[in-house]
Amino acid sequence: MEEEISSIQLITNRFVNGKSYLILYTCLLCLTVLDTILGIMYVLYDKDDFAIATIFTMTIVTILIVVEVTLRYLETRDRKMFFRNCVNCLDVTVICFGIVGLVLFIAGFDHRDTVGEDVADIFDNILLLGRSIYMFIRSPEIFHNHLFS
């Protein structure tokens, strides 16, 4: 007996397999580049202006990544199969690291005069840079699947 497809699955399937998904992912890539540049500028110049802009872009990127993965999860018919795919598990891990990096960055921003602030700045920026690199490594597959399917 076939499972009935829910209306949420139909809507998310149309979105994830359409051009709107490419627009979302392209926006994510552009914001990730901006976020990385701002994070580097913050570490190099140690200016509060860069910190506030970085926190703002990191928050937006993290929310959009959560939305993107949630849409793909809702689109999946068999939810248990979603986590059997290595890429999906890696995406969830990247989300967790992104949230940890964001929290560490915000916490480090409030206590900038404490010992080890440079180590914390470098650590959270490495987490966020890793997320950016992962997104760029994954982007050719996403664009290929959507443009040539």
Predicted pLDDT of residue 1: 36
| Inter-residue contact 50 to 41 (CB < 8 Å) | yes
* Mean pLDDT, residues 32-47 taken together: 78
Cβ-Cβ contacts under 8 Å for 131 (sequence gap 6 or more)? 32, 65, 94, 97, 98, 101
pTM for the full model?
0.75
Distance CA 70, CA 64 (A): 10
pLDDT at 28 over 70: yes
pLDDT at 4 over 70: no
